């Protein structure tokens, strides 16, 4: 099969029955039908009415569950939602098989346009950070503030630990990997992912690990799991090679929304050295560096990230921006301003 051929993926209405997605106490899960896509959206109702809306976008191989801890921390600050990108979490594949950064960004834009929730406080991690950057650049009317946790923006010198993930984009590699790892248990796979993504894997609680194993078992039963992973990895690599106005760094320079950049000192997928470059690229930015964090700071340090996010909203409101939180909601965070 050539790299341009689409493999057969059963329609959503004939996909095999799998275990239900976990929904934490206080969360809600719903399915939203849009032109060409169906998205699953996770939400946590705010503590009171009238709080500004927020939308979170996960990274490669992740899901809306990656944001549960942060959403709980912010329920007194924003009306939070997190989306499962097409082909991930509980969202079925897109009708057109487009897993590019632009394809994922269109999915987010379609949802925001249809829901009428925009402008929102938009948050993205890794792949979701690249997607959120593109959304903020092309549709500034939909974004109040932008928060990027280890955003997957192009690097000249890729970390060696990130190479295996990038290789998924090479035609045929995913098939080889699945054959090589077919005897791996879901527990083994989760241990590998945790070691790669966390600064300290020991932070994962036994309960959290068990939930992750259950979710991995569920995903491995989906016939499109590896296709979504492979095509999204390929879409990310392709985005790294784009030039002109579609280049991710060029789009970062176009973002008007106040931006919080979060980088982990132990991140094995996005280089910590990229933090200063990002702070220079985003015109109205501040930088939060977490030396002990890995690739998923919103899961490792949700309290710290929530405090920095509140500071972003408070300072933006004080500067006369569109963002804001009610008096008394501001927190404290160890942030260093790094606007360009």
Q: How far apart are CA 5 and CA 7, in angstroms?
A: 6
pLDDT tens per residue, the chain (340 residues)? 333 333 444 444 445 566 678 888 899 999 999 999 999 999 999 999 999 999 999 999 899 999 999 999 999 999 999 999 999 999 999 999 999 999 999 999 999 999 999 899 999 999 999 999 999 999 999 999 999 999 999 876 555 544 444 444 444 434 444 554 566 788 988 998 999 999 999 989 999 999 999 999 999 899 999 889 889 988 888 888 877 777 899 999 999 999 999 999 999 999 898 999 999 999 999 999 999 999 999 999 999 999 999 999 999 888 775 444 333 333 333 344 333 2
Neighbouring-strand partners of residue 148: 124, 261
pTM for this predicted structure: 0.85
Q: 3-class SS at 222?
A: coil
What do you get for the CA distance between the two ends of the chain, in Å?
47
Q: How far apart are CA 41 and CA 25, in angstroms?
A: 15
- Name the token pair of 303: 């309290």
Going by DSSP bridges, is the β-strand pair 120-125/259-264 parallel, antiparallel, or unpaired? unpaired
- Name the token pair of 296: 């998923």
* Sequence-ordered list of residues with C-beta below 8 angstroms from that of 58, at least 6 positions apart, any chain: 64, 66, 67, 82, 83, 84, 85, 88, 89, 125, 126, 127, 128
């Amino acid at each position: 099969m050539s790299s341009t051929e689409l493999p057969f993926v059963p329609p959503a209405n004939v996909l095999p029955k799998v275990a239900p997605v976990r929904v934490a106490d206080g969360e809600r899960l719903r399915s939203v039908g849009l032109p060409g896509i169906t998205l699953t959206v996770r939400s946590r109702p705010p503590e009171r009415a009238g709080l500004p809306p927020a939308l979170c976008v996960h990274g490669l191989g992740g899901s809306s569950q990656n944001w549960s801890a942060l959403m709980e921390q912010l329920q007194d600050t924003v009306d939070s939602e997190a989306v499962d990108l097409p082909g991930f979490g509980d969202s079925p594949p897109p009708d057109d098989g487009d897993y590019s950064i632009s394809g994922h960004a269109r999915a987010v834009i379609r949802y925001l346009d249809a829901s009428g929730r925009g402008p929102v406080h938009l948050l993205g991690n890794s792949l979701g950070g690249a997607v959120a950057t593109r959304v903020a650049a092309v549709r500034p009317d939909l974004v109040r503030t932008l928060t990027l946790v280890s955003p997957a923006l192009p690097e000249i010198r890729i970390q060696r630990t990130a190479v295996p993930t990038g290789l998924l984009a090479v035609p045929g590699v995913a098939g080889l990997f699945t054959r090589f790892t077919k005897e791996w248990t879901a527990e083994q796979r989760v241990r590998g992912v945790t070691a790669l993504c966390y600064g300290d894997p020991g932070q994962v609680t036994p309960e959290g690990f068990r939930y992750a194993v259950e979710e991995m078992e569920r995903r491995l039963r989906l016939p499109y799991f590896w296709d979504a992973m492979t095509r999204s990895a390929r879409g990310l690599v392709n985005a790294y090679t784009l030039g002109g106005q579609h280049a991710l760094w060029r789009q970062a320079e176009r973002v008007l929304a106040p931006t919080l950049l979060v980088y982990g000192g132990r991140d094995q997928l996005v280089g910590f050295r990229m933090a200063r470059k990002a702070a220079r690229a985003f015109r109205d930015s501040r930088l939060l560096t977490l030396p002990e964090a890995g690739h998923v700071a919103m899961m490792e340090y949700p309290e710290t990230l929530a405090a920095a996010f509140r500071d972003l909203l408070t300072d933006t409101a004080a500067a006369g921006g569109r963002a804001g939180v009610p008096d008394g909601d501001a927190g404290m965070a160890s942030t260093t301003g790094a606007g360009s």
